[in-house]
């Protein structure tokens, strides 16, 4: 009788572990924060002074921070939500022409903030048995711009697009780290300055596109 029980147990053990593996839930949620640097791609205005050019250069590069959360489907696809923000500031002297046609100049300090938020789609090899992880994602949403110079605040928003590609190394089954390359696109045809709406011409639109390089971490749950 005892031998029969041992024999039955020997046959049952593999099925027991197999059942455990089948019922163990795989990670379905990925949260991916990142921080890095970004460069705005809009062209510099022509015919401006060196001081004004140096001032604008300070606003064309800044800190890029993002976070996204995804729910993984049965395939290698995932759906979720993405948020990113760009921060830059610059101090300097600018020269402009006032409403009377006179040339005036002065020292100014400006802080810029570009944010993006929207639903996103991701494709990855996170489920593959490899330490080398790859993913790309694409998001379509709202891109918003806030610029503040002294007492003047300008705001505007429009439809925007964000695309990212990343390589990561798996430290554990639940934590990956690595570099991420991103591209955010969007333009504004009008903005509000202290509540007053200003429409831009085709050649004067505010370009919000930027290229970013970041360090990204993935946490899987």
Rounded distance, CA 40 to CA 63, Å?
A: 11
pLDDT at 112: 98
DSSP E strands in 98-193: the ranges are: 103-124, 132-149, 152-170, 175-185, 187-188, 190-193
Task: Please give the biggest Cα pair distance in the chain.
Answer: 108
pLDDT at 100: 75
pLDDT in tens, 102-152: 777 788 999 999 999 999 999 999 999 999 999 999 999 999 999 999 999
pLDDT in tens, 49-86: 888 889 999 999 999 999 999 999 999 999 999 999 99
Instruction: Give the position of tokens 């964000």.
Output: 162
pLDDT in tens, 127-138: 999 999 999 999
Single pTM value for the model: 0.84
Rounded distance, CA 47 to CA 97, Å?
A: 12
Residue 101 pLDDT level (bands cut at 50, 70, 90): confident
> Is pLDDT at 9 greater than 60 in this prediction?
no
Q: What is the pLDDT of the chain when averaged over all its residues?
A: 88
């Amino acid at each position: 009788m005892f031998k029969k029980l041992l024999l039955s147990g020997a046959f049952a053990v593999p099925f027991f572990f197999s059942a455990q593996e089948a019922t163990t839930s795989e990670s379905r949620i990925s949260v991916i924060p990142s921080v890095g640097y970004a460069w705005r791609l809009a062209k510099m205005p022509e015919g401006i002074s060196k001081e004004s050019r140096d001032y604008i250069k300070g606003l064309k590069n800044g800190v890029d921070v993002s976070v996204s959360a995804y729910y993984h489907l049965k395939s290698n696809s995932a759906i979720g939500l993405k948020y990113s923000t760009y921060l830059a500031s610059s101090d300097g002297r600018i020269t402009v022409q006032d409403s009377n046609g006179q040339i005036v100049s002065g020292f100014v300090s400006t802080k810029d903030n570009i944010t993006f938020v929207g639903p996103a789609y991701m494709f990855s090899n996170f489920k593959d048995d490899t330490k080398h992880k790859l993913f790309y994602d694409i998001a379509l949403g709202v891109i918003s711009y806030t610029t503040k110079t002294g007492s003047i605040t300008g705001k505007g928003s429009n439809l925007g697009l964000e695309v990212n590609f990343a390589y990561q190394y798996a430290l554990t089954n639940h934590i990956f780290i690595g570099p991420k390359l991103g591209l955010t696109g969007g333009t504004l045809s009008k903005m509000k300055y202290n509540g007053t709406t200003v429409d831009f011409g085709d050649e004067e639109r505010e370009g919000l596109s930027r290229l970013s390089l970041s360090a990204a971490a993935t946490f899987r749950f």
